[in-house]
Amino acid sequence: MPKPITAINDFVVKFANVNGSGSASANGLFAKSVLRMGIPASSRNIFPSNIQGLPTWFEVRINESGHLGRRGGVDMMVAMNPQTWEDDIAEIEPGGYLLYDATKPMPASRFRDDINVIGAPLTAICNRTYDDARQRQLFKNIIYLGVLSALLDMDVPAIEQLIGEQFRGKDTLIKPNLHALQLGRDWAREALDCPLRSATAFSSAATTRRRWAPCTAARRCAPGIRSPPPPRLPRRSRHIASACAATRSRRIAATPSSRPRTSWPRSAS
């Protein structure tokens, strides 16, 4: 197995899905959960077309220093679209992670030797739990969110609270989604070594910038580790913002009614 990427609150997770599969809700829950845990994160929904069945991507950059622009490269790829498999695999950084649906066996030639592969039988879990085809597709997304929450040691109460907020007024949907989340967590904790972290993640978290111990409430509360402060504008940006505000106030003061009128000479009739 290749040497895994290690990082604390500084990594990129990308979801590769099929447009119209209901993945946007689950992917958005992942990004919001990171923010709810107090860690700066930026998300981008990338889709070349809004046609159902075509590829769509959702990228989340997590960075405790507040750097939210696209970094380039992916530390963990959640590959759920066979159409874009080759391109998605190529984006993973050496030592990165691939999470995919392993219900159907895939030959070793479809994977890279320098990444860590995590196969979860998502479709199999859905087939034995749900009878409706649409439910199988929708809850599959929440199940892989549950797997991620166990792998990355995320704050589960934060995710559960967000599910309740997202489906407020639709109480019949809250319990099934919470159940699907738990299905993914239960499978991951039984089948995988959760969470993904190095043996020295807690002791070196305060001094090492890139170790894999991602976005956890427990990590933020660990001894000697403080939550990152909210991002602030650079000094120059604050001056520019103040100047813009002053300019706007001057423009408001100079209304058309207060401006001097220019009288043009009329020609003699």
Give per-residue pLDDT as tens, 189-203. Answer: 999 988 886 432 222
Does 148 have pLDDT greater than 70?
yes
**Domain 10-220 in CATH: superfamily?**
Pyruvate-ferredoxin oxidoreductase, PFOR, domain III (3.40.920.10)
Closest by alpha carbon to 97, among 108, 83, 111? 111
Model confidence band, residue 67 (pLDDT cutoffs 50, 70, 90): confident
Amino acid of residue 61: R
- Residue 220: predicted pLDDT: 40
Closest by alpha carbon to 188, among 268, 120, 93, 95? 120
Sheet holding 116-120, edge to edge: 41-46, 55-63, 10-18, 74-79, 92-101, 116-120
Task: Name 34's Cβ contacts closer than 8 Å, sequence gap at least 6.
Answer: 41, 60, 62, 154, 215
Among 114-118, 134-138, 198-202, 223-227, which range has the highest average pLDDT? 114-118
The pTM score is 0.72
- Residue 242: predicted pLDDT: 53
Residue 204 vs residue 243, higher pLDDT: 243
Residue 174: helix, strand or coil by DSSP?
Answer: helix
What's the pLDDT tens digit per position in 212-226? Answer: 344 433 344 333 444
Please, is 129 exposed, middle or buried when counting C-beta atoms within 10 Å of its C-beta (0-12, 13-18, 19+)? middle
- The domain limits of the chain are 10-220
